Amino acid sequence: MNVLVVDDEIKNAELVAAELRDAGFTASHVGGGAEALAKLETGGFDAVVTDLRMRPPDGMALLATIRERWPAISVIMMTAYGALETAREALKHGARDYVEKERDYVDVIVRILREDSESRSLKSANATLSATVESLRRDALPVVGEAPATRAALDLARKVAVTDSTVLLRGESGTGKDLFARTLHALSKRSGGPWVKVNCGALPEALLESELFGHEKGAFTGAVKQKDGRFEDAHRGTLFLDEIGEMPMSLQVKLLQAIEEKTFTRVGGNKPVTVDVRIITATNRPLEEMVKARTFREDLFFRLNVFPIVLPPLRERPGDVPRLVEHVLRKQGAPADKIDAAALRALAGYSFPGNVRELEHTIERALILAGADAITTEHLSFAQGAAPQGGSASWIPTIPPEGLSLEVLEKELILQALERAAGNKSAAARLLGLTRRTLYSRMEKHGLRAPGEGDDAEGEGE
């Protein structure tokens, strides 16, 4: 905390500044209000400790200017006994506190400044947390859904977030492991601390070791100065190791030690470095098979697998698609009704090999193609070139774990065909690969057409 001491009794100003430095603060001093304003122009001050009665501008005038121009700076008044009423008036105008110039009054100033510093740290932590939560809300796809697998993953995340347990996030590419990791950090007691991510598959072995653990000056060619690693950057926060299955065997022992003992050495060094870090890892690889193949250490796997959370692929949670689509549209500045019902049903029925990431990219592309119009199936990349009569099986939905009703599915497909054909029964029948008579029969079965209802007045000549 950087403090400026202001007093026209220059010896007193010098003494107070010296004692503040002894107490651990950064402190400088000036001999009056005009000098103080000139000093404050240079920036970097957190607090001002000023005498109340000085030659103009006095303490009250200095307070008024600081409140107007530098409202984040705290002001503490020093006053003689006879000016207590004026000091109390200063509180009404925004002073942090006031101190009577009597025995041990510098100790009181130190206490006030420490309380102010703690308050600033708390506000900063709260601001960081709010920014993190807002970033999750604004920039990331939400972890939402009613599918059993989704609810199970969310329940596990809520339970483990408040602990310091190591978490292993498992799931296919694009299922939201990065978002889950960020959510765990935001909900944890470390949320005010740093969030650090390292992609273990993005760097070669030599660079990955230096990235994680840092290096000493001269450790290798180009190491012109000592560099902290990502473990040190994440001190008192969360370190997310993505694609952990890509970590080379040679580094796995050092990682295991760092996780278990919270101690490691920088590359080229011999001095132990101790950190307080919460570890979250993620992978889409079968670690158990890698352990059997001796490409991943068994002891490291057990250490990482303390609390596994499996994130379900999107094909197992088609009911979650509408909310995800709505979020992507909102994120892109488009209204929820920008997409028509048929396109939304097509999205819910598609298997999405790339999962949520592919869904987001699909919607972004569709928005560009649609322009000012509503998104239809014609704008969906996976629907391009699909045969209209069963010539392609890419659209066929995957049976969810809880099963489905074939009757409901058939009725829904008939409704979709009728909608796309604008009510023309012959055209709808062709879309479904049926004769018009068979379509009539199935419509009657589902209550979509009364028995014996007359033919369409649409010139069908089958």
CATH code of the domain covering residue 460: 1.10.10.60
What's the pLDDT score for residue 433?
Answer: 76
For 219, counting Cβ atoms within 10 Å of its Cβ (0-12 exposed, 13-18 middle, 19+ buried), the class is middle
State the CATH number of the domain containing residue 346.
Answer: 1.10.8.60
Distance CA 107, CA 119 (A): 18
Name which of 144, 153, 70, 189 is nearest 328 in CA terms: 144
Q: Percent helix, strand and coil across the chain, each rounded to 5?
A: 50, 15, 35
Flag whether 208 is in a domain. Answer: yes
Instruction: Give one DSSP letter per residue of 227-271, joined into a string.
Output: B--HHHHTTTEEEEEETGGGS-HHHHHHHHHHHHHSEEE-BT--S
Flag whether 399 is in a domain. Answer: no
194 and 86 in a common domain: no
Question: What's the distance, Cα to Cα, between the start and end of the chain in Å?
Answer: 87
**Cβ–Cβ < 8 Å for 241, 282:** yes
Distance CA 315, CA 348 (A): 8
What's the pLDDT score for residue 138?
Answer: 45
Distance CA 109, CA 122 (A): 20
What's the pLDDT score for residue 436?
Answer: 78
Sign of the alpha-carbon dihedral angle for 343, 347, 353, 357: positive
Residue type for 163, please?
Answer: T
285 and 249 in a common domain: yes
3-state SS of 70-83? Answer: CCCCEEEEEECHHH
- The whole-number average pLDDT for the span 267-295 is 93
| Among candidate residues 291, 310, 329, the one where a domain is terminated | 310
What's the pLDDT score for residue 179?
Answer: 86
- The whole-number average pLDDT for the span 39-63 is 91
Question: Beta strands 195-199 and 237-242: pairing type?
Answer: parallel
- Could you give the 3-state DSSP secondary structure of residue 419? helix
164 and 236 in a common domain: yes
444 and 334 in a common domain: no
User: Is pLDDT above 70 for 382?
Assistant: yes
pLDDT band at 197 (very low <50, low <70, confident <90, very high): very high
pLDDT band at 132 (very low <50, low <70, confident <90, very high): low
User: Is pLDDT above 60 for 272?
Assistant: yes
- The tokens describing 457, both together, are 């007045």
Q: Which of 110-119, 252-261, 405-414 has the highest mean pLDDT?
A: 252-261
Flag whether 132 is in a domain. Answer: no
**Cβ–Cβ < 8 Å for 266, 229:** yes
pLDDT per residue as tens digits for the range 339-378: 998 888 888 888 888 888 899 999 999 999 999 999 998 8
Name which of 379, 84, 349, 132 is nearest 237 in CA terms: 132
The share of the chain scoring above pLDDT 70, in percent, equals: 88
* Local structure of residue 168 (DSSP, 8 states): E
| Among candidate residues 310, 339, 358, the one where a domain is terminated | 310
What's the pLDDT score for residue 449?
Answer: 77
In sequence order, what are the residues at sequence separation of 6 or more whose Cβ sits closer than 8 angstroms to the Cβ of residue 93? 60, 63, 64, 67
pLDDT band at 456 (very low <50, low <70, confident <90, very high): very low
Cα 378 off chain centre by = 33
Flag whether 127 is in a domain. Answer: no
In sequence order, what are the residues at sequence separation of 6 or more whose Cβ sits closer than 8 angstroms to the Cβ of residue 439? 414, 425, 428, 429, 432
E strand or H helix that includes residue 3: strand 2-6
What's the pLDDT score for residue 224?
Answer: 77
Distance CA 198, CA 251 (A): 14
126: left (phi over 0), alpha (psi -120 to 50) or beta: alpha
Cis-peptide into 322, omega within 30 deg: no
218 and 104 in a common domain: no
Mean pLDDT of the chain: 84
pLDDT per residue as tens digits for the range 70-129: 998 999 988 876 566 777 788 888 888 888 888 788 999 999 999 988 887 777 666 655
387: left (phi over 0), alpha (psi -120 to 50) or beta: beta
422 and 379 in a common domain: no
pLDDT band at 239 (very low <50, low <70, confident <90, very high): very high
249 and 371 in a common domain: no
Q: Which residue in this structure is represented by tokens 């909900």?
A: 187
236 and 95 in a common domain: no
- The whole-number average pLDDT for the span 222-250 is 91
267 and 148 in a common domain: yes
pLDDT band at 426 (very low <50, low <70, confident <90, very high): confident
**Cβ–Cβ < 8 Å for 304, 166:** yes
What's the pLDDT score for residue 352?
Answer: 85
pLDDT band at 217 (very low <50, low <70, confident <90, very high): confident
369 and 423 in a common domain: no
pLDDT band at 220 (very low <50, low <70, confident <90, very high): confident
Q: Which residue in this structure is represented by tokens 């944890």?
A: 188
Flag whether 363 is in a domain. Answer: yes
Flag whether 126 is in a domain. Answer: no
In sequence order, what are the residues at sequence separation of 6 or more whose Cβ sits closer than 8 angstroms to the Cβ of residue 264? 213, 231, 254, 257, 258, 272, 273, 275
Flag whether 197 is in a domain. Answer: yes
Flag whether 106 is in a domain. Answer: yes
Q: Please state the domain count of the chain.
A: 4
Residues spanned by the domain of 323: 315-383
148 and 94 in a common domain: no
Sign of the alpha-carbon dihedral angle for 433, 437, 440, 441: negative
State the CATH number of the domain containing residue 9.
Answer: 3.40.50.2300
248 and 176 in a common domain: yes
pLDDT per residue as tens digits for the range 145-175: 667 888 888 889 989 999 999 999 999 988 8
Cα 313 off chain centre by = 20
What's the pLDDT score for residue 458?
Answer: 45
What's the pLDDT score for residue 383?
Answer: 64
